[in-house]
Amino acid sequence: LDRVSSIAAKYIGRPISQLPPVQPVHLSSLEFRMASFDGYGVGAGPSLDLDLLPGSSSSMPNLPFQPVVISDMDKSLMSDIAANAMEELLRLLQTNEPLWIKSTNDGKDVLNLESYERIFPKPNNTHFKSPNIRVEASRDSGVVIMNGLALVDMFMDSNKWVELFPTIVSIAKTIEVISPGMLGTHSGSLQLMYEELQVLSPLVPTREFYTLRHCQQIEQGLWAIVNVSYDLPQFASQCRSHRLPSGCLIQDMPNGYSKVTWLEHVEIEDKTPIHRLYRDLVHSGSAFGAERWLTTLQRMCERFACLMVSSTSTRDLGGVIPSPEGKRSMMKLAQRMVNSFCTSVGTSNSHRSTTLSGSNEVGARVTVHKSSDPGQPNGIVLSAATTFWLPVSPQNVFNFFKDERTRSQWDVLSNGTAVQEVAHIANGSHPGNCISVLRVSSDKKKEPFSDDVPFT
């Protein structure tokens, strides 16, 4: 970071600590060019060997709850809550005005709270009794390169869920399966889950939810999955986030594609003010909103599609990736790198952490956690992360870090020597979405490196 800070100071003429306040940040939709993958839709159903999703989290931390005993009366109540939540979700996903209006600024859907409260009256206007309550609601839709049944299978598996959204979901665990649903379709499935959501910065606290997740097949090729908070008495005081009926509608399309419409609707109690660097991003709903979920899903499904594409997506300059098996192994390694990065940068409550004071108001967050990831020695991992603002566009920062020609300017491990890309795997429609194997010229050591940069 010192190296990056000095480079920034060189080009802008003053240290980062003297920069003006942060400007509003806007998320752009993924540039999704389906033509790049014509004929490679992932359409083999839930039995598909995606391989990048092992179906089990190798480093699942200790979760903040003990086994829960659920009575038959509680299960009946959960079923009623889930059914009502599903009805509300479908209306919110399939109705425009008067529930949704278009923003005059960016054209996004904005929930009309007055119409919502009239159509869906609640006993209490808010779940929390505090003046610091905010409501975030967002809706977005798009096409993903995977069929509906495969998506449903991954969404209803908590381990695959956390692997599918590593930049958003830091922890996910199924507490109890209330109803398994129909074999092969998950229709009627109902689960009680715990999850912790994150923004990849030590400045933004995580959000914890105990939720009911319910899946229903509406008709052939059309599924709905709803999430709604369920208050467990022993943990009611810990969660300051409440999820109103949220979820997605998944509709099969030709060639193994799916149209996904996503809804996020939550009540949040901010125990402390959001840091100014992220205040606009969080308060606008972009940090945890539907657009971010859908964009992440599209990116991951593109990765799966690239895994199935022939070797034309791989450029091997040094015999590093000699076979399709080598490509698959490299993509699995890159995915583990992304997961490890997210674990280190995030603010999960499962990790012991402390904040060290620095030269500015941010400082650095230091975390300690045990590592049991495959391919890595068991032991204690010490990580340090901080956040700062740069007066350049995100695309320019991304280009600087992914270009091997500028790597020696900031990577202390390169010792200032030239770095050469010896293998390249494209794993998305955007040319910046790729996996590279780099070689440091001085000692010819190969260094695997993934520049598949998560949201931050």
- Position 67 confidence tier, pLDDT thresholds 50, 70, 90: low
Strand ranges in 129-206 using DSSP code E only, listed in sequence order = 133-144, 169-179, 190-197
Number of H helices, E strands in the chain: 9, 17
Structure tokens at 245: 């009926």
More confident residue, 360 or 450: 360
Q: What is the pLDDT of residues 276-326, one digit of tens each?
A: 999 999 998 899 999 999 999 999 999 988 887 765 566 766 667 778 888
The strand pair at 352-356 and 364-371 is best described as: antiparallel
Compute the distance between CA of residue 97 and CA of residue 95 in angstroms, rounded to an integer: 7
CA 426 to chain centre: 20
What percent of the chain clears pLDDT 70, i.e. is strictly above it? 73
Distances (CA, A) of 357 to 274, 297, 361, 388: 18, 36, 8, 14
> 62 burial class (0-12, 13-18, 19+ CB within 10 angstroms)?
exposed
325: its two tokens: 């098996």
What's the Rg (C-alpha) of the chain?
23
- The amino acid at residue 203 is L
| pLDDT band (50, 70, 90) for residue 445 | very low
pLDDT, residue 46, reads: 36
- Residue 293 near residue 300 (C-beta atoms within 8 A): no
Q: For each of the domains in the chain, give its residue range(s) and CATH number, in order of start.
A: 2-26+313-450 (no CATH), 34-306 (3.30.530.20)
Q: How many CB atoms lie within 10 A of CB 410?
A: 16
Two structure tokens written together for 362? 């941010």
Does residue 358 register a pLDDT over 70? no
Please state, in angstroms and rounded to a whole number, the distance separating the CA atoms of residues 234 and 212: 16
pLDDT band at residue 443 under the 50/70/90 scheme: low
Check: CB of residue 288 under 8 Å from CB of residue 136: yes
Nearest residue to 423 (alpha-carbon basis) of 406, 435, 440 = 435
* Tokens matching residue 194: 């715990």
pLDDT tens column, 19-41: 444 333 333 333 333 333 343 34
Q: Are 78 and 229 in contact (CB under 8 A)?
A: no
Q: Is the peptide bond before 98 cis (omega within 30 degrees of 0)?
A: yes
| Amino acid 173: pLDDT | 94
* Separation of alpha carbons 92 and 114, rounded Å: 14
**End-to-end distance of the chain based on CA atoms, in angstroms?**
16
Q: What pLDDT sits at residue 242?
A: 92
Q: Which range is least confidently modeled, 103-117, 229-243, 332-346, 394-408?
A: 229-243
Name the pLDDT band for 226 (thresholds 50, 70, 90): very high
pLDDT recorded at residue 314: 67
Whether this prediction's pTM lies above 0.75 is answered by yes
Q: What is the total residue count of the chain?
A: 456
pLDDT at 418: 85
Report which secondary-structure segment, H or E, holds 262. strand 258-269
- Fill in the DSSP letter of residue 2: H
Contacts of residue 443, defined as CB under 8 A and 6 or more positions apart, other chains included, come to none
Compute how many other C-beta atoms are within 10 angstroms of the C-beta atom of residue 9.
15
Q: Are 201 and 387 in contact (CB under 8 A)?
A: yes
DSSP class of residue 267 equals E
The CA distance from 122 to 106, in Å, is 30
**Phi/psi at 190 (5° precision):** -140, 125
SS3 407: helix
- Return phi, psi of residue 324, to 5°: -60, -35
Residue 353: is its pLDDT beyond 60? no
